Amino acid sequence: MMEKTTSEDPACSTEETATESAKVPTAEPPREAAVSESTGEEQVPKPQASAPQAPAAPAITKPAPPSEDVPSAPLLLTLEDVSNSSVTVSWEPPESLGRLGLQGYVLELCREGASEWVPVSARPMMVTQQTVRNLALGDKLLLRVSAVSSAGAGPPAMLDQPVHIRENIEAPKIRVPRHLRQTHIRQVGETVNLQIPFQGKPKPQATWTHNGHALDSQRVSVRTGDQDSILFIRSAQRSDSGRYELTVHVEGLEAKAAIDILVIEKPGPPSSIRLLDVWGCNAALQWTPPQDTGNTELLGYTVQKADKKTGQWFTVLERYHPTTCTISDLIIGNSYSFRVFSENLCGLSASATITKELAHIQKADIAAKPKGFIERDFSEAPSFTQPLADHTSTPGYSTQLFCSVRASPKPKIIWMKNKMEIQGNPKYRALSEQGVCTLEIRKPSPFDSGVYTCKAINVLGEASVDCRLEVKASATH
């Protein structure tokens, strides 16, 4: 029951530990001597390996409490955490709590090189984990813990190695924002404000370079904090383009990140333009690329035209990449000027290059020369372009036969069944329209089966096609 109670109390005792630990350097050393005498801890100096000690002699003269009355040493004393100002240890309850029961634990510390043990708290604490705070950087401490009953303190459990109070070293790491992983493009005159977060312990040292050289402090300012570094350029110029490299150092470790910046502006106009040729309603132009592209690639050229009468400019081509073009659909009788702009990510060039000559679209002397009309003879003997197809029908359901014929003049169409004309028979209806000949057989019966022929006749000849029609009798049940 006592072990379970001991392991459940850390939450309520941690605050007391923090309060008491603040008093360790001034008030606790005298009290420690009294505790040592009353509890009979003769084994405490054993880790110091110092054989003769003055306080040990009087302790031997006092009667030691029976071993059954005091608890045994706590188990599994473990170093849980070390920071730049605190240390945390934990342990397990002892195997034997003693006949008089457990009153708590006393955690003691001893600085390396010293001989006295200082208790962390003024009284035993019923916890199995304690944090010693307000320690100085660079201290090396020995720690031990003893279980205490009303009869005194039992043998201590001690850490094997001294604990060095120092700041944890965390390797530096730079987190480049996603939008800066590609070339960062700014226009001339705009501000450049790069905030690059990083991490590392102790506080990292950050340095910047521009194309491998130190930054120009008159143009670029840098502010570095504990967790980020900010590079700021108030008014960017094209000379600020290039690769900026951030290096973060921590205790001999370093991390680097490179950011590419491109400062651009509007391009210059094409160097020259000339009118190559004018023919009909067309004009051919040619120009040369601009000398200044604005520190970036061109997106193309914009070509405009203006007639002499109105002087208004109209766009003919946009983002046109070649340096030659042909302008078509010009109005006859007008004279045209042409101009060309360069274009990049910043937009069109501030000015354009204009042709010196005008393109005159002249009226051509066109004389109509009619040719004699030769009438063509379209007379043609009948010929079937689509023959009749064999067909199977069901009794009682009307069916149709189709074919198409071409002839000039228009032929006479004759339908026959088994080589016998069927003209005038009300059972059949013959149609002919636009060369398509149709024979409709109304409600055929098995008697209407046979070979049907379509004959076309005109003054130039005749032609015929035939097919077989089969009318199947319905099955009887």
Q: What is the pLDDT of residues 48-58, one digit of tens each?
A: 333 334 343 33
Q: What is the pLDDT of residues 263-274, one digit of tens each?
A: 999 999 999 999
Q: What does the chain come to in residues? A: 477
Strand partners for 262: 185
79-92 per-residue burial string, b: 16 or more CB within 10 A, e: under 16: eeebeeeebbbbbe
pLDDT band at 45 (very low <50, low <70, confident <90, very high): very low
The verdict on domain 74-165 having CATH code 3.30.70.1450 is: no
Q: Measure the CA dihedral 197/203/208/214, to 10°.
A: 170
Long-range contact pairs involving 156-163 (C-beta distance under 8 Å, separation at least 24):
156/41, 156/43, 156/44, 156/73, 156/74, 156/108, 157/73, 157/74, 157/75, 157/77, 157/91, 158/47, 158/77, 159/77, 159/79, 159/89, 162/112, 163/79, 163/82, 163/87
Contact 255, 198 (CB under 8 A): yes
Give CA–CA dist 33/248, Å, rounded: 49
Q: What is the pLDDT of residues 423-434, one digit of tens each?
A: 888 889 999 998
Contact 109, 146 (CB under 8 A): no
**Taking the domains of the chain in order of start, what are their residue ranges?**
74-165, 171-264, 274-361, 380-471
Structure tokens, 257: 């990140």
CATH architecture under which domain 380-471 falls = Sandwich (2.60)
Share of the chain above pLDDT 70, in %: 84
The verdict on domain 274-361 having CATH code 3.90.470.20 is: no
Contact 387, 421 (CB under 8 A): no
Q: What is the mean pLDDT of residues 152-170?
A: 83
CATH architecture under which domain 171-264 falls = Sandwich (2.60)
Residue 457: which residues within 8 A CB-CB, separation 6 or more?
382, 411, 412, 414
Q: What is the pLDDT of residue 149?
A: 86
pLDDT band at 418 (very low <50, low <70, confident <90, very high): very high
Give CA–CA dist 227/178, Å, rounded: 18
Q: What is the pLDDT of residues 193-243, one digit of tens each?
A: 999 999 888 788 999 999 999 999 899 999 999 899 999 999 999 999 999
Surface-to-core class of residue 176, CB atoms within 10 Å of its CB (0-12 exposed, 13-18 middle, 19+ buried)? middle
Question: Among 208, 209, 200, which residue's Cα sits nearest to residue 172?
Answer: 200
Q: What is the pLDDT of residues 351-391, one digit of tens each?
A: 999 999 999 988 776 667 777 778 888 899 999 999 999 99
Q: What is the pLDDT of residue 469?
A: 92
Give CA–CA dist 87/24, Å, rounded: 14
Structure tokens, 266: 């509007």
Question: Among 294, 295, 296, 277, which residue's Cα sits nearest to residue 286?
Answer: 277
**How far is Cα of residue 215 from the mean position of the Cα atoms in its chain?**
32
Q: What is the pLDDT of residue 11?
A: 34
Half-sphere exposure of 171 (CA within 13 A, CB side): 5
Structure tokens, 40: 């009979």
Structure tokens, 79: 């170093």
Predicted structure pTM score: 0.48
Q: Does residue 23 register a pLDDT over 70?
A: no
Q: What is the pLDDT of residue 37?
A: 32
Alpha helix (H) residue ranges in 8-55? 10-21, 24-39
Half-sphere exposure of 404 (CA within 13 A, CB side): 6
* Same fold across 171-264 and 274-361: yes
Give CA–CA dist 475/471, Å, rounded: 12
Contact 420, 414 (CB under 8 A): no
Q: What is the pLDDT of residue 65?
A: 57
